[in-house]
Structure 1
Amino acid sequence: MLSILKRPHPFIFNSGSILIPGIFTFILISLFRPLGFNSLPTTYVLAFALGLGLIASTMVWLTVKTLKLFFPKLMDEDLWTLGKEIMLIFTVLLLIVFTIFIIFLSIDVLDNDPVSLFRMVFVKTLLFSIFPILIMVLFEQYNYQRNQLKVANELSQKVKLEQKHTENVHSIVAENGQPVLHLKSDEILWAQSDGNYLELFYLESGEKVKKDLIRNRLKNLVDQLPDETFFHCHKSYMINLNHIQKVQGNARNFEVVLRYGNIPIPVARSKSSELKEKINRSI
């Protein structure tokens, strides 16, 4: 169960993410008249449906914006999972329940004591929402992952399988400005951040992969190297574009597999478009 909740999931927050819950709420209340609305005139029901639809859309927008402001690490789109998506939806539902409860309690629209009213709003909101939400989440993940795989396959087909060679030599310097390595462009494979250090993977003797731990920030290394060859694809990774062997995708982002490396390297969602542009430009 925990492995399922940790599965990558797309973080999609756009106008549709805000409007769809409101539209769904309006249709649901108008057609099925839950929460005791079956005893009210149609005009009242439609008015309540519209108001609650606006509340649902507002709560989605407000919840995401608030969490991004106060918990940016938790809301990191590149680390988004199915479990986080479910928790976000449940949080929004609870806020909607509390809002509806307060509104009903203040206008005394239904003849219930507060405890019974809250129980009714909570149970009926969850019962009417959980199944369509589950379908929407699963469909969202399936559809997004299918599109990701399609684009990844197209990019993989465009990647040149023959390694490019360049005689450009780069001096790799440490944090103190002292050079620690002198490497050709085609010898550098990838680098990844390791706290105050970076791990640099490169070719030695043409085919043997070697790793050096260098005291420097990854961003400083990126600034040293030409961006037409090296790509800062993720906050923790830089890759040599000439060594891309395959592009693959999951429900969250792209990953690249390099020659001489069997570990998929993530591409941040914010860098996906740039990756496509760089690959298309190199063809």
Structure 2
Amino acid sequence: MSLSSSLIHENLIKTNSSIVLLIIYASVHLINIVIFLKTFTNLFLFKKEEFSFNSEYNSKIKNDETIKENLNNRITLVGKSNNDNLILNINKIYFIKSSDNYCEIKYLKDGKINTNLFRVSISDLEKQIKSEFVIRAHKSYLVNLLHISDIKGNVNNTKATLIICNTKIPISRSRREMVIKKFKTIT
């Protein structure tokens, strides 16, 4: 064997061993990723009781005259500022989100989704609304049951999806059963 062919043979062996080491390194990391994903899936996505159910807006509402009558009740929401004043039907409210001393109100007006920001606590608005359809789903959210398309999740992570604005509203563990029960009674 000549000197040049010996060098070529040596470089080929080094290159092949580098490729083998790279493949082994990548395989170990791939196995770690698979183990992580399997653990993550088992811990967070499929924990305890899973559920999911759907509802179409107003199509499954029980044929109860008191429910139909309450849908058209007009309410006035009043905040602490002079300009914080909103008059609308209960069925036009999608949800109310609280942040400190302010509340963001999402509602339907003239076929468009609107947002108003009021300086008021969520508990004050809850008292003003007094509706069986708009309920507290979380410490920071009031949600209108009539606009929920589905509720998915488990005990630790339940969310209600709203039909039109496709917003996911968190449902707290302590209120989960009550929200699901009330949602089932009107659908």
TM-score, length basis structure 1: 0.45
Structure 1 pair 178/269, CA: closer, same or farther in 2 (3 Å)? same
Q: Which residue of 1 aligns with 2:158?
A: 254
Asked if 1 retains the 8 angstrom alpha-carbon contact of 2:84 and 2:119, the reply is no
Q: Which residue of 1 aligns with 2:73?
A: 168
* CA deviation vs aligned residue, 1:54-103 (integer Å, no higher than 9, x gap): xxxxxxxxxxxxxxxxxxxxxxxxxxxxxxxxxxxxxxxxxxxxxxxxxx
Task: Compare the two structures and name the one with the higher strand fraction.
Answer: 2
Mapping for residues 54-203 of structure 1, pairs under 5 Å: 139=42, 141=44, 143-144=46-47, 147-148=49-50, 151=51, 153=52, 155-156=53-54, 159-162=55-58, 166-175=71-80, 180-203=85-108
* CA deviation vs aligned residue, 1:79-136 (integer Å, no higher than 9, x gap): xxxxxxxxxxxxxxxxxxxxxxxxxxxxxxxxxxxxxxxxxxxxxxxxxxxxxxxx99
Does 2:152 correspond to 1:244? Answer: no
Does 2:179 correspond to 1:275? Answer: yes
Q: Which residue of 2 aligns with 1:209?
A: 113
How far 1:210 moved relative to its partner?
0.3
Asked if 1 retains the 8 angstrom alpha-carbon contact of 2:155 and 2:173, the reply is no
Residue type of the alignment partner of 2:74: V
Instruction: Give the % identical residues.
Output: 25
- Give the SS at the match of 2:177: helix
Residue type of the alignment partner of 1:262: N
Does 2:136 correspond to 1:232? Answer: yes
Name the CA distance, whole Å, in 1 between partners of 2:162 and 2:85.
24
How far 1:246 moved relative to its partner?
1.4
- Give the SS at the match of 1:270: coil
How far 1:225 moved relative to its partner?
1.3
Q: Which has the larger radius of gyration?
A: 2
Residue type of the alignment partner of 2:102: Y
Asked if 1 retains the 8 angstrom alpha-carbon contact of 2:135 and 2:145, the reply is yes
- Give the SS at the match of 1:231: strand
Residue type of the alignment partner of 1:196: N
1:222 to 116, 120, 126: 126
Residue type of the alignment partner of 1:161: Y
Structure 1 pair 142/264, CA: closer, same or farther in 2 (3 Å)? closer
- Give the SS at the match of 2:184: helix
TM-score, length basis structure 2: 0.66
> What stretches of structure 1 of length at least 5 have no aligned partner?
1-134
Name the CA distance, whole Å, in 2 between partners of 1:198 and 1:217.
7
Q: Which residue of 2 aligns with 1:26?
A: none
* CA deviation vs aligned residue, 1:234-272 (integer Å, no higher than 9, x gap): 011110011111112157221011122222110001111
Report the RMSD for the aligned CA atoms in angstroms: 2.7
